[in-house]
Structure 1
């Protein structure tokens, strides 16, 4: 789980800002908070909803998390740059960018416990990864863990010269691996984390931390095609459940199926089909999504797999389609096929997002980052989806979802705790600031948060210059009229020619 994340000098965040997922002492919705007996008193929030005006910094916050995930799991962005995006100013370009992320990590049974102070092995430990970098190199890096008193215990640190220093307890713990780790430290490039390099060199001491970034932190934004649809649709039981869920959410869909089509439905050249055929294994599949120009929701979803004796149609199709079974998602209303492409954009987007929502409802251990979760959805549908997730959360749940949203109908204490709602605001210098409603004093549990927000109590509202806006619109209208008057009149028919033509 994500415990906290802070950033500094990243895009619109010039000063240090923190997304804190540790619950305060509020008694709201305490049954949804996650806990661990080793860390007594620590309660972790299952959700964070980030509000703010357009360009206030909501997406920039999530892009920082995506950057950290990519930098940890993939290492250097290129041979020439770290790819970091500092605050857009002369000072911002000169100053380093820093990240600090604290996470609750499951400890694999086959990995020796990094906590040398206790004889019993802990199933989960809190780690903190800090690193600072500029466009050229990593300037500092450190990894720490927290004991039962939540005291920080450093495992290693790395300086700008690339020198890695291990703590005394770690030196005793790593034993014979110390020589390999020191060699790995010397071989870590300037645009790569030491943590990443240890895993690449098959040294498993920090593997649980790396695996959290690779397997448990999951992001989805407006450009993501959610490839979980294919495997679920290919299973008839899941397909039936999909139909039931879509029907219950008032989409009008009675049933969804996979229908077989030939290769012409894909509209792909033969050489591309051959490449797809060669890339698909015996028990694997490929999902293709067809979009209309300018649309994000898919028009059609195709699932392609190898034909087998059980599903092949005939020899002619085998030759024509490179021995591929091509199936298209089809929706039915009143017993008749409507066509997925004829469904509303909201229904099509819901269909794509359902695998993500299923992972939330099933409490799959992960942290989902969702941009504009309410886009194309009625507010009642978004509320239903989130409420279903929160109703399933207990102290043992290890599922979280981070959303940014403009849907004020969700700013409701019947859904969220105060410390689960955050506001982003950009000041006159273009600097974004992040604050939790839990930090505001005097917010009663029965307070209408929407009205208070719209009244400006929490900030985060767009500031309009009404005079400048009206003048700009007026100037634009005048310019448009002038341009229109300068256009040559359409050629009028010659009166004489008109008579001659009669």
Structure 2
């Protein structure tokens, strides 16, 4: 469960920005759940003008996640670390980037972070808080020549050495460390998907179709969305051998495919009712999802599977451009899944970026501390603030719960809108 994330010197983010899923008053709200002494939000939205950096906030979280899981496959001392600094300032273009995240795992609050550039991890730290008192598990600071490991609480890190371009937590995990393994697993359940790219996520729906319960839940959601679909099926077809023989791949691989019985393609199909000229039901028609259904329906399917998986396992899901190709009411449907305590039984969290300002006018869809904005300053750097934090920018004037948020946002009262000159 995510509590807080901070980053600086990443893409359009120059100075440190902090995003929080803690309720503003740290008190229970309709859209929060309790994690020890904290009340965490089930969902949050980020608005902002084009190129204001709202997507970069999510990309920064995903960047940290991928590096913690070593997705770039850094193995040698000469391997370059991914590094995407703020390039519009001479001070930052060659400087290291900073990432820190605070989260709950089995009732323990962890604070983990690091500073790195393309060649070196300059600092890395891990703290745990079991009973409202933070303990330092490990800390490394190459510039200060510090390498501390808590011998009582983090035995898995004792005596381990690490390359300058490696994270210490990798080494602990490779040493079968219990805490580090749990932390990496938490990051593995912290995912970003791009709402503009549907096809890459349809394989998750295909996978879920193998599970009867998951298929049932997916079909329920599709029917709630009123897409006119009565059933979901899987179509399997054998690829003709002459097509396999003509594939531009090594001959030994082709032969292995043929020896193994060939290749089968799998595709989702949707079943729709068919009616007579007198509008009486007379049967059904199968549609190929990828060919016959609209972009909106394909998008709904693509997002439904990872969203249901997130709810089922209590994960954290980031979605960039959630509203792309979706009717506003379908976007609203997804958000309400996370806000509904009867459906979101495992305290899953949704953080998304959108331009759909209609959502701001939906009654009780968001509390004010769930709404965030990004805005670039005159030097091209992204600022991040919540609707409640806007009070500080607004000379102490509060944002009332009864305010017309959609109207006031379009009027520019909260910032984070484009300033368009005359054509």
Do both share a fold (TM > 0.5)?
A: yes
Give the whole-Å Cα distance in 1 for the aligned partners of 2:192 and 2:171: 23
Task: Look at both structures and tell me which one has the larger radius of gyration over its CA atoms.
Answer: 1
Deviating more after overlay: 380-389 vs 393-402? 393-402
Structure-2 separation of matches of 1:152 and 1:60? 30
Structure 1's 211 and 91: CA in aligned 2 closer, same or farther, altered over 3 A? same
Is the Cα contact below 8 Å between 2:128 and 2:134 reproduced in 1?
yes
2:114 corresponds to = 131
Structure 1 residue 200: Cα displacement: 1.8
For residue 373 of structure 1, report the CA deviation from its aligned partner: 0.9
Q: 1:192 to 1:448 in 2, by over 3 A?
A: same
Match runs of 1:226-305 below 5 Å? 226=201, 227-236=203-212, 238-264=214-240, 275=253
Match of 2:49 in 1: 53
Note if contact 1:157-1:164 (Cα within 8 Å) is conserved in structure 2.
yes
Whether 2:268 is the aligned partner of 1:329: answer: yes
Q: Structure 1 residues 249 and 17, CA, compared in 2 at 3 Å: closer, same or farther? A: same
Summarize deviations over 1:352-386 as a string: whole Å, max 9, x none. Answer: 21112213454x21100111111110001111221
Partner of 1:200: 174
Query: Is 2:148 the counterpart of 1:152?
Result: no
Q: Secondary structure at the match of 1:406?
A: coil
Report how many aligned residue pairs link the two structures: 396
Question: Is the 1:12–1:87 contact (alpha carbons within 8 Å) kept by the matching residues of 2?
Answer: yes
SS in 2 for 1:231: helix
Deviates more, 1:125-134 or 1:399-408: 125-134
> CA 1:268/1:390 → structure 2, altered by over 3 Å: closer, same or farther?
farther
- CA gap 1:174/1:144 in 2 versus in 1, 3 angstroms: closer
Q: Secondary structure at the match of 2:123?
A: strand
Is contact 2:338–2:348 with CA below 8 Å preserved after alignment? Answer: no
Rate the CA distance shift 1:103–1:276 in 2: closer, same or farther, 3 A.
farther
Q: Shift of the alpha carbon at 1:241?
A: 4.6
Post-superposition offset of 1:96 = 2.0
Structure 1 residue 336, shift from structure 2 partner:
1.4
| Deviation readout 1:140-170 (Å, 9 max, x if unpaired) | 1111112433x43211110126955336xx2
Q: 1:211 to 1:337 in 2, by over 3 A?
A: closer
Q: TM-score, normalised by structure 2?
A: 0.85
Name stretches of at least 5 consecutive residues in structure 1 with no aligned partner: 107-123, 280-318, 471-502
- Contact 2:10 2:97 (C-alpha < 8 Å) held by counterparts: yes
Change in 2 beyond 3 A, CA 1:338/1:431: same
Report the counterpart of residue 191 of structure 2 in structure 1: 218
In structure 1, distance between residues paired with 2:130 and 2:213: 44
1:444, 1:33 → 2: CA distance?
19
The corresponding residue for 2:66 is 70
What is the rounded CA distance, in whole Å, between the counterparts of 1:253 and 1:320 in structure 2? 39
Distance 1:453 1:159, change over 3 A: same
Structure 1 counterpart SS, 2:228 = coil
Structure with more of its chain in helix, by fraction: 1
Partners of 1:77 and 1:83 within 8 A in 2: no
The alpha carbon displacement at 1:97 in A equals: 1.1
For 2:50 and 2:26, locate their aligned partners in 1 and report how far apart those are by CA, in whole Å: 30
Other structure's SS at 1:450 match: helix
Q: CA deviation at 1:421?
A: 0.5
Give the CA RMSD over aligned residues.
Answer: 2.9
Gapped regions of structure 2 (runs ≥ 5): 275-283, 392-397
Q: Give secondary structure in 1 for the equivalent of 2:151.
A: helix
